[in-house]
């Protein structure tokens, strides 16, 4: 059975064989992850379609055309591992569900054996959160050499007066040089294009999130029990942006050649940081989604990204983007446009700050907001009014929340 690089979209013509999870000659089981394939848009795992013995044809780090045979599986029964010797403590299940690359990497970094962790993911899979709840294994102390092996330090040469000392040669390279991955190349090209091909400006404002915080605290448990997902901040901002886009459609527009295209739908991109770079999956027809559907959609995207199951269709399109740098601690930043879109909203960290209310100084949970926009499409007045409208909606979110 041939293992080929699958087609993942009309505009994708080649892929990088990023990593093999098995070695040539090893036995594989049906549906077991074999390797990671990376295009300029997504990273995905290829699983075994049958059990057998793997033969690798294309090595890691090789870029090949779509449809290339990168390995084969000699179909047949895979020999079962011999039973483990009895132990004083109960042993973990012998059949460990496949692990995602992120889980494998984190387990290696923290010195945790995944088979000793009870998985809470689908089918008993071990997730990143499962590993984060485990205590890392401290590295073993190096054994002291026997007395006979201890030697005196080598004598240092005596330099003539005024002669400069010469540094010893480095024991390891001081730089690491690796080729850019297809995804990183794509990110670099798009960011450069956003700077060179748009007239990008940014306007700023701040929002008092007291009412949003109060609503989340009041309805958090009910929301989770009813819908199975947490009520986050992002759904409030998605709803606020959709309503503001309805009032200022130019922010939802884009330039196509000599035409201005104004969509009458609202596909909102949600920027999510992934291990190999930023990806922006799209919530389709966000104006028709309830709060819980927005939160579930974002949670599903995050799970797909962790398991390298994000599809090209998840990333295509989008009329406006929201990026939350606050989850990383950013207080204020200038978000960059996601071409061909003309607007992107930057959310930031929530901080308790003193503000004036009715002639009094009070402490409120405040967030700086930033709207970057293409000045070729959006006038400064429209940009400022759009951001002000987003601020008004999140400061008085009851109408949005009741509607959702």
CA 107 to chain centre: 18
Host H or E run for residue 218: helix 210-227
| Active-site option among 2, 222, 285, 375 | 375
- Radius of gyration, CA atoms only, the chain: 27
**CA separation for the pair 2, 69 (Å, rounded):** 6
Q: Determine whether 222 is an active site residue.
A: no
Per-position DSSP letters for 252-282, written without gaps between them: G-EEETTEEE--SS--EEEEEEETTEEE--E
Nearest to residue 391, comparing CAs of 372, 374, 367?
367
Asked if 93 and 112 touch (Cβ cutoff 8 Å), the reply is no
| Active-site option among 31, 129, 285, 379 | 379
The residue with tokens 């730089």 is 175
- 69 bridge partner residues: 4
**CA separation for the pair 98, 106 (Å, rounded):** 15
**CA separation for the pair 51, 166 (Å, rounded):** 59
**CA separation for the pair 263, 246 (Å, rounded):** 10
Per residue, what are the HEC states of 165-199?
CCCCCCCCCCCCCCCCCHHHHHHHHHHHHHHHCCC
Q: Determine whether 379 is an active site residue.
A: yes
Dihedrals phi, psi of 163, to nearest 5 degrees: -85, 125
Asked if 30 and 50 touch (Cβ cutoff 8 Å), the reply is yes
Please identify every residue annotated as catalytic.
Answer: 375, 379
């Amino acid at each position: 059975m041939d293992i080929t690089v699958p087609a993942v979209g009309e505009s994708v013509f080649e892929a990088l064989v990023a990593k093999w999870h098995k070695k040539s000659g090893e036995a594989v089981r049906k549906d077991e992850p074999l390797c990671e394939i990376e295009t300029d848009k997504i990273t995905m795992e290829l699983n075994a379609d049958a059990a057998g013995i793997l033969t690798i044809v294309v090595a890691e780090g090789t870029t090949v055309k779509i449809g290339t045979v990168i390995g084969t599986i000699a179909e047949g029964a895979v020999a079962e591992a011999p039973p483990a010797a009895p132990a004083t403590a109960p042993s973990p299940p012998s059949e460990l569900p496949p692990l995602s690359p992120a889980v494998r990497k984190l387990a290696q970094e923290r010195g945790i054996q995944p088979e000793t962790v009870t998985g809470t993911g689908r089918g008993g899979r071990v997730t990143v959160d499962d590993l984060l709840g485990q205590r890392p294994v401290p590295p073993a102390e190096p054994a002291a050499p026997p007395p006979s092996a201890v030697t005196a330090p080598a004598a240092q040469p005596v330099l003539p007066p005024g002669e400069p000392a010469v540094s010893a040669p480095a024991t390891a390279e001081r730089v690491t040089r690796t080729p850019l991955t297809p995804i990183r190349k794509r990110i670099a090209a798009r960011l450069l294009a956003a700077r060179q091909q748009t007239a990008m400006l940014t306007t700023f404002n701040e929002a008092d999130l007291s009412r949003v915080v109060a609503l989340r605290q009041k309805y958090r448990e009910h929301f989770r029990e009813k819908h199975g997902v947490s009520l986050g901040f992002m759904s409030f901002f998605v709803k606020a942006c959709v309503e503001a886009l309805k009032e200022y459609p130019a922010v939802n527009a884009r330039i196509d050649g000599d035409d201005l295209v104004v969509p009458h739908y609202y596909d909102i991109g949600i920027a999510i940081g992934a291990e190999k770079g930023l990806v922006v999956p799209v919530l389709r027809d966000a104006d028709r989604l309830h709060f819980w559907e927005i939160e579930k959609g974002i949670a599903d995207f995050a799970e797909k990204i962790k398991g390298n199951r994000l599809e090209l269709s998840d990333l295509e399109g989008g009329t406006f983007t929201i990026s939350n740098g606050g989850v990383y601690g950013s207080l204020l930043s200038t978000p960059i446009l996601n071409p061909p879109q003309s607007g992107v909203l930057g959310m930031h960290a929530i901080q308790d700050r003193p503000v004036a209310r009715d002639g009094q100084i009070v402490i409120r949970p405040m967030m700086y907001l930033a709207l970057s926009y293409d000045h070729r499409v959006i006038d400064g007045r429209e940009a400022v009014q759009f951001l002000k409208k987003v601020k008004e909606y999140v400061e008085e979110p009851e109408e949005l929340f009741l509607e959702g």
